[in-house]
Amino acid sequence: MPVDFSGTWNLVCSDNFEGYMLALGIDFATRKIAKRLKPQKVIEQEGDSFSIQTTSAFRSYFVQFKIGEEFEEDNKGLDHRKCKSVVTWDNDKLVCVQTGDKKNRGWTHWIEGDQLYLELCCEEQVCTQIYKSA
């Protein structure tokens, strides 16, 4: 039985989101607003199918995928760079590799205790976020 990420999750802490946004080339004004946000994630997991809705007061982002199936991401509302993404399991971690103009771009989700973790990577920057069940 794989881990179940399904649920509604609220951000409780975030480290180096600023560095991640800088690596993505997000402008100063947007970063200023974005770093204060407390996004909520609604994750739906059914077998190999996932959807992740990230909502905030400022911008929101939706992604849908199946494990092992490459899909195109537009990163609309974020940096708008298109990339080819694929999500796979690494033991109990959900690992997304986002291939495009930016090196080492991707994210990893895992659960520890009652917390949902998210590591966002771009180039040399790593942002770590922790979410708690709503």
* Binding flag, residue 78, ligand VLZ (CB under 6 A): yes
CB atoms within 10 A of CB 15: 13
Interface pick for ligand VLZ out of 58, 66, 89, 101 (rule CB under 6 A):
58
The CA distance from 62 to 66, in Å, is 14
Binding span for ligand VLZ by CB under 6 A among 5-13, 37-45, 64-72, 82-90? 37-45
* Binding flag, residue 34, ligand VLZ (CB under 6 A): yes
Return the ∠ at Cα 56 (arms to 61 and 34), rounded to 5°. 95
Interface pick for ligand VLZ out of 39, 50, 111, 131 (rule CB under 6 A):
39
Six token digits for residue 64: 């849908």
Q: Is the dihedral of CA 44, 95, 27, 19 positive or negative?
A: positive
Query: Which parts of this chain interact with ligand VLZ (CB under 6 A)?
Result: 21, 26, 30, 34, 37, 39, 41, 52, 54, 56, 58-59, 61, 63, 78, 107, 118, 120
